[in-house]
Amino acid sequence: MELTLDEQGAHALFGNHDENLRMLEEEFKVKISSRGSEIFVKGDADNIAPVEKILGQMQELITQGYPVKKSDVLTAMRVLRDKPDASVVEFFTDDAVQQSVRRVVTPRNLAQKLYLQSMQDHDITFGIGPAGTGKTFLAVAAAAAALNDKSIKRIILCRPAVEAGERLGFLPGDIAEKINPYLRPLYDSLYDIIGFEKVEKLMERSIIEIAPLAFMRGRTLNDAFIILDEAQNTTPEQMKMFLTRLGFDSKAVVTGDVTQVDLPDGKKSGLREAHRILGDVEGIKFFNFTHKDVVRHPLVSKIVNAYDQMEKDTPSA
């Protein structure tokens, strides 16, 4: 296939030390080389086609001025894995996801893109699925974009403080310090998206609030973007309490993994109950991620696969 880029564009396409080409080679079991204005892809025909499509459409993005990064090549691979006839150019450039959100975060697969659209289009969105799918991170990004747009006035993030094998009583400090470790993942997402200093200033002004779910009781939250994380560890009563906090001009996003419930035996999960009771309510969107939507660093995937293989190869005691 023909290479239509100048030296700078070719470097963006190939990556540092041709790392993008090596990544494509490993994923699709092909061999890629270049000479002059041509790129050569060798391998099985079924594997050559998606590689040439990715390279061709990445060239088109670079020509349009899109700043292609290594992570974008990974995203293109995921998009075509999920939908072989998808347009990579459209995925990165269409306006289905608001520009304010795109300035904050880029979806890494089709599922993430549809999830961001769901949060735009619905006042209450449930994001359900395994860890690593971006449920909470994307919700925080959507909240940050809404705050930048001034379509909301504050962000409220909460989690149930449920013990998962550990005991709160053994943690040092007062109740706020004991609960803080349960809320730490929400802080991490905010720092990644907004920045440490800005988050601290916004929290001082109560524009961003992070609190245990129990602290939401009795409140009505207007002009807010409210996120409930780890919602599988709510009871049905807590879930009802949270959802009825929604005020005017507000959005709520509920995230959780129904396979990771840490509630005591005999306690029903509020997330499971909500899915059953509210699944047909207009204005509420349930978005379900699967394991194929997990977005990991390539090394993490290899580590997980290695441990999985070890467990399969080790005879049970």
pLDDT recorded at residue 165: 43
Task: Count how many residues are written for the chain.
Answer: 317
pLDDT recorded at residue 166: 43
Of 66, 55, 12, which Cα lies nearest the Cα of 33?
55
Task: Kindly provide the residue ranges of all beta strands, DSSP E only, lying in the chain, ordered along the sequence.
Answer: 31-35, 38-42, 124-128, 154-159, 208-212, 224-228, 251-256, 284-288
Phi, psi of 127 (to 5 degrees): -110, 110
Six token digits for residue 288: 């379900």
pLDDT tens for each residue of the chain, 317 residues long? 888 888 899 999 999 999 999 999 999 999 999 887 889 999 999 999 999 999 999 999 999 998 888 889 999 999 998 899 999 999 988 877 777 787 788 899 999 999 999 999 999 999 999 988 999 999 999 999 999 989 999 999 998 876 544 444 555 555 556 566 777 888 888 999 999 999 999 999 999 998 889 889 999 999 999 999 999 999 999 999 999 999 999 999 999 999 889 888 888 999 999 999 999 999 999 999 988 888 877 777 778 678 878 878 877 55
Of 254, 210, 265, which Cα lies nearest the Cα of 232?
254
pLDDT recorded at residue 60: 94
